[in-house]
Structures are given as C-alpha cells and as structure tokens.
Amino acid sequence: MYIKQAFKSLHEWWRYLVGFIVIFLASQFGSIPLLMAVMFKVMADGGDIESIQDPNVMMTVLDSNLTLFLMLLSFAVGLLGVYFVVRYLHRQPFVELTTSRKKTDWGRIFFGFGLITITTLVVTGLDYYSNPEDYVLQFDLVPFVILAVIAVIMIPLQTSFEEYLFRGYLMQGIGVMAKNKWLPLIITSVVFGGLHLANPEVDKFGNIIMIYYIGTGFFLGIMTLMDEGMELALGFHAGNNLITALLVTADWTVFKTNSVLKDISDPSAGFDVIAPVLILYPIFLLLMAWRYKWCDWGGKLFGKVEEPVVIVEENNPNSTFIE
C-alpha cells in the first residue's frame, strides 16, 4: 500500500520533523531572488521599501512574467529539498514516495492532466459565450509565448512540490506514525487549504473560498489513497494551475499573467465558489473509480496502516522477508 511502503525506509518521527524543517527552509531560500529583485526595482525607482510588505503590491512591481518565474522558483527549490530529504535522510527511493507501483504511471498523470484541462476549457468557453462582457481579450503574442515557456516548465514544478509535500511526504509520515489513513488525509487536506489563506482570492471572496481550497485538498488526498499513488493528483494539479495561468487571469487572482483572457467581472461569493467541491469533484472521483476499478473505499480511506513483520532466517541473517 502507498502509505505502508514508507516502513521499508528510515521512518522515525524525528526524521519527518527534521525533513519538514529542511524542506520549509529550502522553499524560503528559493523566495530570496524574488524579494531581492523587487527591492532593487523599488530602490531604482525611488520608491518606499516598506511598501513591498504588502504582498499585493510586491507582485505588481516587476513584469508579470518575471514575477511569475521568480515566484515559482521557490517551489522548484522546495521540490529539490523534498528530493534530498527523501533520498538521503530517509534513504527512500523517490518512486516509493510517488506510487506503490514499481514505476511511475505516466498514463495516470496524463489522464488527470487531461481531465481538468478539458473541463476548464469547456466551462470557461461556455461562460465566455454566455457572458462576453465579463472578459477582455488581451492576447499578445510575445508576452504570451514567454508566459507559456515559463508556465510549462515551472508550474509543474510548483504543483509537484505541493503534491510531494502534502500527498506524499506528510501523508506517508503522518500515516506511519498514526498507523491509520484518515488522520493524514484530514491533516494534509486542512493544512494544504489553510496555506492558501494568504491568496488574494480570499480577500475577494471571503473565508467561504476556504471550502474550495480545503475541499481540493481532500479531493487530491482521496484520489491518492484510493489509487495507491500520487500520479492522478500530480497530473490534475498541474493541469489545473497551468491551464488557468495560460487561459484566464484577473486582478484578484494569485496568478496575474499575460493570459489569453482577463476576467473583468466583479464576482461575489456564491454557490459557484463551492460548486467544484460539491459537484465536479464527486463526478471526477466516480469517473476515476470506474476507469481504475477502485474498490474497498472504507479500507483505503479509513483503514489501519500496520507495520509489516520482518522475518530473518535463522541460519541466513542476510535474508529477510516482509509480510
């Protein structure tokens, strides 16, 4: 099983504590270039350094493509931190943090990616057709091409960092310590959602949007536990963020990009904010369950995580078997 295989590596509680600290520091180190670039720009323009303490102001100082690249750089460095912690602190093959299968299933990654990409294109297209006054076509070839290059390279690193940290490292770490599946699912989903509190979307919609963020955490966690691997979550998360960055932006979104469209409407919190959690996510899970023949939902989401018994042959201490 996905969580259970963490027992095959070094899994003492203190390793996960140290590892989490190292990963956090790595991601913070990766954010230094953005902070320095903004500071130099403000100083060169004769502005007030204290103004960049407001995240919304800081994100508008530089060119949007440069801002996006530097913002995503911290996640790329964080992902590198996850890799080194897993490989050298836990002595765990990286594939065992990714999946319970012998190798990463790229077909699942592309399925998750395609599912959300097609859905987003269809939903956005219908809304654009129904409410054209809510959008402005801002396509500009050169800035868009630069955006596309940055997004295709960096956004999968950003989303992979979040998936490997929450649905991977913390899911397995909490699971082997708690010896169950429901606690890591709850903790990782709530913390994942909570970290989005600083997003400008929260200021726009209010705390009700946390239902969407936390619900998304549960959705990604459920598909990881049911599928015994992160591949679907990796693809889905990457597709969601990538197509959003390229297709639509708004002044109140965390990704302010040179996308094809700009949403100029004044949305308010309503049912449409939580509709993905209540309608789309259950449909997606049922579709995945049908495609990948998921079963035993209770056991996979709420079952125990039992440490395997290691048996050593009496006359051959180098021979071990795991039950």
pLDDT digits (tens, 9 = 90+) for 134-176: 999 999 999 999 999 999 999 999 999 999 999 999 999 999 9
pLDDT of 280 > 60? The answer is yes
Residue found by looking up tokens 């021979």 in the block: 319
* Residues in CB range of 208: below 8 A, 6 or more apart: 269, 273, 274
State the pLDDT at residue 322: 53
Of the listed ranges 116-120, 173-177, 270-274, the one predicted with least confidence: 270-274
Q: Which two tokens stand for residue 264?
A: 């100029």
Instruction: Map out the domains of the chain as residue ranges.
Output: 4-322
Most confident of 198-207, 268-277, 292-301, 312-321: 292-301
Residue found by looking up tokens 């309503």 in the block: 270
Q: Which two tokens stand for residue 109?
A: 């990654």
The closest of 76, 78, 37, 44 to 59, measured between CA atoms, is 37
pLDDT of 318 > 60? The answer is no
List pLDDT tens digits, range 41-93.
877 777 666 666 666 666 677 888 999 999 999 999 999 999 999 999 999 99
Most confident of 59-68, 262-271, 274-283: 274-283
3-state secondary structure of 24: helix
User: Please, which pLDDT band fits residue 321 given cuts at 50, 70 and 90?
Assistant: very low
